[in-house]
Chain A
Amino acid sequence: MTNIVLFPILIPFFFAIVLLFFKENIIVQRILVSLGLALSLVSSIFLAYIVHTDGIQTVNLGSWAAPYGISMVSDAFSALLVTTTLIVTFFVVIYSFYAIDEGRERNYYYPAILFMITGINGAFTTGDIFNMFVFFEVLLMASYVLIVLGGEKRQLRESIKYMLVNVVSSALFVITVAYLYSIVGTLNMADISVKIAEVDQPGIITVIGILFLIVFGIKGAIFPLYFWLPSAYAAPPIPILTLFGALLTKVGIYSITRTYTLFFVHDVGYTHMWLMGLSLLTIVVGCIGALAYFDLKQIIIYNIVIAVGVILYGVSLMDDFAMAGSVYYIVHDMLIKAALFLLIGIIIFVTGTSNLREISGLMKQYPGLGWVYLIAAFGLAGIPPLSGFIGKLLIVQGSFNAGHWIGAIAVLLSSLVVLLSVIRIFLYAFWGEPKETKPINRMQYKKMMIPTTLLVILSVVYGVGTEWFMPLITDSKDVLLDPSLYIDAVFKE
């Protein structure tokens, strides 16, 4: 069972290929896609268990020894992210059964999602920098298809911009890998780390570090590279927006975290100062955006930007508490953002608009939706028993330990802004005089509520039962702060 590392990548890939043969048969597609995701979810939970009990798992493809072949490495951090990705995708796909129109389902909607999951899980698991580029392209190509699927005017307009930004950043990725290859002469990430330590980080390595920050910053939407995100994410339908918002930026964050804890750890004063400054500015612009809009989608989209800033700020501190906080927060954010986008989708479904000014008094008609939304909103802001609390607590604690009280205060203030922005949705949409809404299919509303509520419950469990998840988070933090654990695991054979 040494190949267990590959299962969460190969199972979605296999099912995506099989799905291509059932274009017209929607029932078969739905059964196969949920079966495929359930199987990969089981395998990823098993993988997380193995990683927790036996330590970091590595597979050398084709049995070529470590620096010469491609290694797939699954440490606690990547196992955790892979599992969360599959959980989120599973619920979003169930939600899509009721929220996506038949035309999209007939035109390779589910295969595209599975190909995107293949790319995301591959990027989380790979131990080779060029292989990471390839997996990025796999997930980006699928995301291009998903963002334009349906071909509405607005989708066409925004998807071409999304594509252009990502094509440029991919070219930059290739360029950066070429520079790195000319310095260290290897592509295996563990080997790169060893070689960089041997040459003792000359100036050119710092330049490459900043180039990587730019490349992954475009994918992960940090300031000032987030400009493409708000309009691009608002174009596709809600389930696709949910997948993008919950998963795609997290791949960028993961890559920054991995490179900045494995490669560029010898001149931390310079590279991590940039990361810290930019992540704090990311929080600021996210806060401004979250307060500026009266559009349901835009408010939550800018909340993604805030979360990116908070997580990367925790990473940049290179501190025990803050790193654990970031690992905790990234999983929390994937779950809660998915839940919030799905809830927004239901509000848009029952009212037919995403303009907050045109919605009011939903509490009388849809009390369930209102209360679930309130819990999710409190979870996002980090009210104590819920899941947003522990992550931010640890990041703030690490920040005070390092003496960066400005950052700690910025993170705390951003929580207030997050709370204000999501509670404003609650006040405008659910309180006040009920407005006349068009009659909707109550059955469909209930079916859409089920996966959404389950996701919110899961995020509550994640917050209340932090103790259960803490061992995995501590493992992740240890590997991130001590690259030798990662290197030894890759070169063990």
Chain B
Amino acid sequence: MELLTAILVGVLFTAAVYLILSRSLLKIILGTGLLSHGAHLLILTMGGLGGESPPVIADGVTDFADPLPQALILTAIVISFGVTAFMLVLSYRLYAVHKTDNMNALRGNDEHD
């Protein structure tokens, strides 16, 4: 099972890197979304996929899933959500001011502008 998720994480990272290296700003932001998905799935995988039941204390349950990675993922998800929301608004402003979403047109080649 870990092998399968590891391959899936690898595919997500590949797609993320490909998208981040593209020219369109929106594709780049989609790429960062995939990158954080990959990272979160990786935490879950690296914590081990064992455990019979969810980490909630109940009578007669002894084999829990590791609760720590789940807490880490929850933290990382809200952080990346906040950052992505900020980045989307920033790119909206950028488009309004610069009238382009092409990263090649956003080069700063001017020493004194």
Q: Which residues of A come within 8 Å of B, CB atoms? A: 130, 133-134, 137, 141, 144, 148, 151, 153-154, 156-161, 163-164, 167-168, 170-171, 174-175, 177-179, 181-182, 187, 231, 293-295, 298, 353-355
Instruction: Check B32 against A171 for contact (C-beta < 8 Å).
Output: yes
Instruction: Check B94 against A157 for contact (C-beta < 8 Å).
Output: yes
Instruction: Tell me, yes or no, whether B93 is within 8 Å of chain A by CB.
Output: yes
Q: How far is the CA of A148 from the CA of B36 in the complex (A)?
A: 23
Instruction: Check A178 against B48 for contact (C-beta < 8 Å).
Output: no
Output the nearest chain B residue to A234 by Cβ-Cβ distance: B108
Instruction: Check A182 against B90 for contact (C-beta < 8 Å).
Output: no
Instruction: Check A295 against B72 for contact (C-beta < 8 Å).
Output: no
- 12 contacts across the A-B interface (CB closer than 8 A): A144-B86, A156-B90, A160-B87, A163-B83, A163-B90, A164-B32, A167-B32, A167-B83, A171-B80, A174-B36, A178-B46, A231-B108
Which of B35, B46, B91, B108 is the one whose CB lies under 8 Å from A182? B46
Instruction: Check B43 against A174 for contact (C-beta < 8 Å).
Output: yes
Instruction: Check B90 against A148 for contact (C-beta < 8 Å).
Output: yes
Distance (whole angstroms) from the CB of B59 to the closest CB of chain A: 24
Output the nearest chain B residue to A137 by Cβ-Cβ distance: B79
Instruction: Check B32 against A134 for contact (C-beta < 8 Å).
Output: no
Which of B46, B83, B111 is the one whose CB lies under 8 Å from A141? B83
- Secondary structure of the A side of the interface? helix
Instruction: Check B94 against A156 for contact (C-beta < 8 Å).
Output: yes
Instruction: Tell me, yes or no, whether B15 is within 8 Å of chain A by CB.
Output: no
Instruction: Check A151 against B97 for contact (C-beta < 8 Å).
Output: yes
Q: How far is the CA of A33 from the CA of B113 in the complex (A)?
A: 32
Q: Which A residues are in CB contact (< 8 Å) with B60?
A: none
Instruction: Check A182 against B48 for contact (C-beta < 8 Å).
Output: yes
Which of B47, B76, B83, B113 is the one whose CB lies under 8 Å from A154? B113
Q: How far is the CA of A467 from the CA of B28 in the complex (A)?
A: 52
Instruction: Tell me, yes or no, whether B68 is within 8 Å of chain A by CB.
Output: yes
Distance (whole angstroms) from the CB of A49 to the closest CB of chain B: 34
Output the nearest chain A residue to B16 by Cβ-Cβ distance: A171
Instruction: Check B83 against A178 for contact (C-beta < 8 Å).
Output: no
Q: Which B residues are in CB contact (< 8 Å) with A178?
A: 39, 42-43, 45-47, 69
Output the nearest chain A residue to B35 by Cβ-Cβ distance: A171
Residues A179 and B106 in contact in the complex (CB < 8 Å), given A151-B97, A187-B68? no
Instruction: Check A353 against B39 for contact (C-beta < 8 Å).
Output: no
Output the nearest chain B residue to A148 by Cβ-Cβ distance: B90
Q: Which residues of B come within 8 Å of A, CB atoms? A: 20, 25, 28, 32, 35-36, 38-40, 42-43, 45-48, 68-69, 72, 75-76, 79-80, 82-83, 86-87, 90-91, 93-94, 97-98, 106, 108, 111-113
Distance (whole angstroms) from the CB of A301 to the closest CB of chain B: 13
Instruction: Check A295 against B87 for contact (C-beta < 8 Å).
Output: no
Q: How far is the CA of A364 from the CA of B48 in the complex (A)?
A: 70
Instruction: Check A168 against B32 for contact (C-beta < 8 Å).
Output: yes
Output the nearest chain A residue to B75 by Cβ-Cβ distance: A134
Q: How far is the CA of A137 from the CA of B91 in the complex (A)?
A: 20
Instruction: Check A164 against B47 for contact (C-beta < 8 Å).
Output: no
Q: How far is the CA of A144 from the CA of B87 in the complex (A)?
A: 9
Output the nearest chain B residue to A167 by Cβ-Cβ distance: B32
Which of B36, B75, B87, B93 is the one whose CB lies under 8 Å from A156? B93
Q: Which A residues are in CB contact (< 8 Å) with B80?
A: 167, 170-171
Q: Which A residues are in CB contact (< 8 Å) with B83?
A: 137, 141, 144, 163, 167, 170
Instruction: Check A181 against B87 for contact (C-beta < 8 Å).
Output: no
Distance (whole angstroms) from the CB of B17 to the closest CB of chain A: 9
List 6 A-B pairs, minimum CB-CB distance, nearest first: A182-B46, A178-B46, A178-B43, A174-B39, A171-B35, A171-B39
Instruction: Check A163 against B87 for contact (C-beta < 8 Å).
Output: yes
Q: How far is the CA of A171 from the CA of B13 in the complex (A)?
A: 10
Distance (whole angstroms) from the CB of A82 to the closest CB of chain B: 23
Q: How far is the CA of A164 from the CA of B87 in the complex (A)?
A: 8
Q: Which B residues are in CB contact (< 8 Å) with A133?
A: 76
Instruction: Check B94 against A181 for contact (C-beta < 8 Å).
Output: no
Q: Which A residues are in CB contact (< 8 Å) with B20?
A: 164, 168
Q: Which B residues are in CB contact (< 8 Å) with A171?
A: 32, 35-36, 38-39, 80
Q: Which B residues are in CB contact (< 8 Å) with A294?
A: 111
Additional pairs, 11, CB under 8 Å, beyond known A175-B42, A295-B111: A141-B83, A144-B83, A144-B86, A151-B97, A156-B97, A160-B87, A168-B20, A170-B83, A171-B32, A171-B36, A298-B111
Q: Which A residues are in CB contact (< 8 Å) with B90?
A: 144, 148, 156, 159-160, 163
Instruction: Check A179 against B46 for contact (C-beta < 8 Å).
Output: yes
Q: Which B residues are in CB contact (< 8 Å) with A153?
A: 97-98, 113
Q: Which B residues are in CB contact (< 8 Å) with A355?
A: 111-112
Residues A181 and B86 in contact in the complex (CB < 8 Å), given A153-B97, A168-B32? no
Instruction: Check B86 against A141 for contact (C-beta < 8 Å).
Output: yes
Distance (whole angstroms) from the CB of B54 to the closest CB of chain A: 19
Q: Which A residues are in CB contact (< 8 Å) with B40?
A: 174
